[in-house]
Structure 1
Amino acid sequence: MDGATSNPELGSVIAGVDGSKPARQATLWAAAEAARRKRPLHIVYGADTDTRALFFSVESLERVRQAGRELLDSTAAAVTEQFPGLPVNTEFSRSAPVPSLHRSAGLHGTIVVGSRGAGGFNTLMLGSVGLKVAAGAKTPVIVVRGIDNGAESGVVLAAVRDEHDLDTTRYAAREAELRKGSLRLLHVWSILQSAGSVVSFLDDVKEIAGEHVHHLNAVADQVREEFPDLTVQVQAEKSTSVAGVLVEASHQTDLLVMGGRRSPSYLGRTLGHATHSLLHHAHCPVQLIARHQHEHGSGS
């Protein structure tokens, strides 16, 4: 465990809009996040006119441009009305939404997207643009879900697998500090994956549980040292469904922070099974922190 303090830089906030209600709600949520960070909000509309130019008339392209700019203006006005002191700027991009958002985020920006785009068909499911943004991002991405479910709890939840999640947990700690709330670290381990067989599980259950708790406590101790004023709670659970436990835990959470697993065999470069499930079914906004290429594993 690296003992050096590595406070993550929470950069500007970039919100993608497409005219849908979830995107508008996500943009207002992003504005509140930008205000907490004391950073500007950058609103992006990816019109994809470069591709459409091959198939659309000049008049049709002009209508697309006009609609996009009107959408940006109206969204910025709605943000300014609720957050009058927040610096807001807009960008009409000729590229598609996904590369537009990735480019706008640069090295340190946080991308915020809604839980469903204009072409979505189910309010529970993440739209294809949001999924691609999350899968390919090299900077943090927040998918805004569950913001109509009640008052804020003041709790930020970090999903912790092992010490490789220390950087992810640092991001969660910074978010908890900004909210003047508390941080909850949750580690979920699969019984059968850890044991290998029923026989070994029955023989070694205490040793296996102790090993998992050790990894969790190591992360918690480091975070407490780096964020001494922050209340940090730890919880370890055994289950056959990591995603199921995290989805249930998201009921009492303002923000769930987790690492985006780099698994080339599943949905692009970053999304594993548990991550994918959380993005579709969590009851609160989910923040993904891109993992480094040298970190392995396919759990979340």
Structure 2
Amino acid sequence: MESTIRTPDASSVTVGVDGSEQAHHAALWAAGEAVRRGRPLHIVHGADTEGRALYVSPETIEKVRVAGRELLDDTAKAVAAEYPGLHVTTEFSRSDAVTTLHRAGGLYGTIVVGNRGLGGFNPLMLGSVGLGTAAGARTPVIVVRGVEETEERGTVLAAVRDEHDLVCAQYAAREAELRKASLRLLHVWNIFQSVGNVAPMLDDVDEIAGRHASALQAVTDTVHDEFPGLTVESHAEKSVSVAGVLVEASRHADLLVMGGRRAPTPLGLGRNLGRATHGVLHHAHCPVLLIPRTGTGSGSRS
């Protein structure tokens, strides 16, 4: 790997750039987050020259390297103009973008990606680099969405499915404290996922609703106890579309925090993002922070 400055701090906020407008916005947003967290910013560009070496000339590879370093330098200058006191490092990598981001993020950093790269057509959808980074990361990943739409709302939103999402809720509480914002815990449940495809009896619905409310309340009480100075509200909603409810709720949040659950693929070859997580990453109206999680069972559906 080639670095234009130096290796990043282990707890750096790492952001990937590729020359797209979305990546530029993501870099500036990541710089603000680095300042908020009191951490350095590490800007990376994965040029994938290793993968191209067999198919293009050495002259073309050199042009890619020059362009990549110029992109890093220009981005670092733009960040310095906005945040002059921030410590910034840059890195040009011969590997592909996803591999570069995972490696740079390490075990303790935070990775930031834009919602769309150079290869995209629909700006609402998340690009392949963003999806690949989010699906395989072992460290928190933030997908920057909706930052151009409105001013800050003063709310951090956390998706809570059950007691296993306590870590996610605690992470969201810390994010709310950093932003001097309130925290909203949102639990969305689908009755057909809870009882199968057979229409449930009314008593069944009441019992299921009670169980979901109890799970949410347990998480809420723990967060209240651990963060007594934080304004916390919780809400449970029944819907056939978990992603739809979360996307709509994201209109009123500065950040949506959720577990990056991994659902087994049909062939059992590794793990991917679950349906709800996938939908939220494509359509949310605010940045989405995924907390790595490899839970199985019912939790893998999100």
Normalised by the length of structure 1, the TM-score is 0.93
How far apart are residue 78 of structure 1 and its match?
0.3
2:150 is matched with: 150
1:284 partnered with 2:277 = no
2:86 is matched with: 86
1:129 is matched with: 129
Extract unaligned runs of 5+ from structure 2. Answer: 1-9
CA contact (8 A) 1:192 1:201 kept: no
Matches within 5 A, 1:49-88: 49-88=49-88
1:23 partnered with 2:11 = no
Matches within 5 A, 1:250-265: 250-265=250-265
Number of paired residues?
A: 291
Work out the CA distance in 1 between the residues paired with 2:224 and 2:31.
Answer: 29
How far apart are residue 197 of structure 1 and its match?
5.7
Structure 1 residues 129, 268: CA separation in 2 closer, same or farther (over 3 Å shift)? farther
Deviations along 1:182-231, one digit per CA (max 9) or x if unpaired, are 11000001122224466534122222111101000111111111111111
SS at match of 1:175: helix
1:107 is matched with: 107
1:3 is matched with: none
Work out the CA distance in 2 between the residues paired with 1:51 and 1:123.
Answer: 27
1:188 partnered with 2:188 = yes
CA contact (8 A) 2:247 2:285 kept: yes
1:227 is matched with: 227
Letter in 2 for 1:16: G
CA contact (8 A) 2:256 2:288 kept: yes
1:211 partnered with 2:211 = yes
Extract unaligned runs of 5+ from structure 1. Answer: 1-9
1:38 is matched with: 38
Identity rate of aligned residues, in percent? 67
CA contact (8 A) 2:263 2:301 kept: no
How far apart are residue 294 of structure 1 and its match?
5.8
CA contact (8 A) 1:45 1:92 kept: yes
1:271 partnered with 2:279 = no
Deviations along 1:92-133, one digit per CA (max 9) or x if unpaired, are 011111010000011111110000001111101111111111
SS at match of 1:123: coil
SS at match of 2:262: coil
SS at match of 2:209: helix
SS at match of 1:55: coil
CA contact (8 A) 1:40 1:87 kept: yes
How far apart are residue 168 of structure 1 and its match?
1.0
Deviations along 1:252-275, one digit per CA (max 9) or x if unpaired, are 010001001111227962401000
CA contact (8 A) 2:116 2:130 kept: yes
CA contact (8 A) 2:161 2:299 kept: no
How far apart are residue 296 of structure 1 and its match?
5.4
- Output the aligned Cα RMSD: 1.6
Work out the CA distance in 1 between the residues paired with 2:197 and 2:102.
Answer: 43
Work out the CA distance in 2 between the residues paired with 1:227 and 1:42.
Answer: 30
